[in-house]
Amino acid sequence: MSVINIGLCGLGTVGTGVLKILENHKEEIKHKLGSDIIVNKILVNDIHKPRNEEIDPDKLTTDAEELVSNPDVDVIVELMGGIDDTNLLLEKALRNKKHIVTANKDLMAVHGQKLLQTAKENKCDIFYEASVAGGIPILRTLTDGLASDRIRKIMGIVNGTTNYILTKMTDEQLAFEPVLKEAQELGFAEADPTSDVDGLDAARKMTILANLAFKMEFSLDDVEVTGIRDITQEDISFAENLGYTIKLIGITAIHNGKVELSVEPVLLPTEHPLAQVKNEYNAVYVDGEAVGETMFYGPGAGSLPTATAVVSDLMEVVKNIRLGISGNAHVGPQFETQLKENHEKHMKYFLRMEADDQAGTFQAITNIFTDEKVSFAKILQLPGSEKGTAEIVMITHKISKQQLVNSLEQLKNLAVVNRMISYYRVDGEE
């Protein structure tokens, strides 16, 4: 086909970037593909809304049927967001033999496996590189570049908003709330920041990465999620004094065929590459059996970085159309999904508690940890915030999560412990 017609769903930040790249890189794209890519129809909410770009008003529509049922449209590029309604729309497009390119991580985390299967049944492609880490080509790296390897572990900063907030809290010694407000004013955080700061956005992305890395089928419910709202300046300061930086990290790892999958604040050694990733940037750290440790770094959002990933996927669709191999990219899960139990998850932990500053307190606390066979790499004891109290900070040696849970439960019932202030995973030292 000398011309490929696309239907563009959504003309926001990324949609506008896609139009810009298709126009500005038109000749290079045609040279690489041997085909022109033409935007046939654009689905918008309001045709009459003022727009910065010069767009032919005849291409605008508020009726999705003009895209998904249009015989002149070959590919649907979905950039409008949404989950269930968007899923129904794309299912219909696939049944109408239209290929899909999407940047919708929420959709792919919830309905991705079914959409991929529907695409295969209809000999269509569906690509979604831009759904994780914006302009970083991490999905294609897992499916193509590292296809011959066995992935052992992925650790990622995959949410720019939380990384921006934690960077400001760390570098400028600021509290969470004022930094969040600044991030909202700068456009890094939404008016409702729940999805970002509570870790849900990162969890959706880690679901997608785990599905690809371990050839199993995971859902959002399989991810253990803890956000950053409770991280204090004191936590950050103690971590720094012990040689660590706190980041919101998505982690998925496999051992003996079982997978752990989480998004949580993690203490990383200050010299770890992920600890050096600042502001709104993303990075994904991949450990493969053959390749060893690699890291992929770049802008995790933004108009042109994300649009670059979208257009690259679009070009892949066009190549497959020209080669006559559409619909063969997706390979279903190879293994039954197996998640680790708490007693199978082993890691170090940072613990911070307030206790009575009196004789016998430390002995009572250590007795509990001794009973659970928990030992420590580092211990600090400092005066507490209230008179007659002490603050105790510990870094454990590697223990199971079950040992941690058991220890915390017993500490709750210990009279000399006033409160468990915080506890975080420690990783990246192996």
Catalytic residue set: 205
In the chain the first and final C-alpha atoms are separated, in Å, by 51
Closest-CA residue to 313 (of 103, 123, 25, 110): 103
Sign of the Cα torsion 166, 171, 177, 182 reads negative
* Distance in angstroms (rounded) separating the CA atoms of residues 278 and 164: 7
> Strands, E, within 10-72: which ranges?
36-43, 60-61
- Listing DSSP states for 402-423 in one string gives HHHHHHHHHHHT-TTEEEEEEE
Q: Any bridge partners for residue 4, and if so which?
A: 37
* Distance in angstroms (rounded) separating the CA atoms of residues 188 and 301: 9
* Distance in angstroms (rounded) separating the CA atoms of residues 276 and 293: 16
For 230, the token pair is 């409770």
Residue 326, helix vs strand vs coil: coil
Q: How far is CA 233 from CA 46, 174, 184, 351, in A?
A: 45, 7, 20, 15
Residue 385, judged by CB atoms within 10 A of its CB (0-12, 13-18, 19+), counts as exposed
Other C-beta atoms within 10 Å of 84: how many? 10
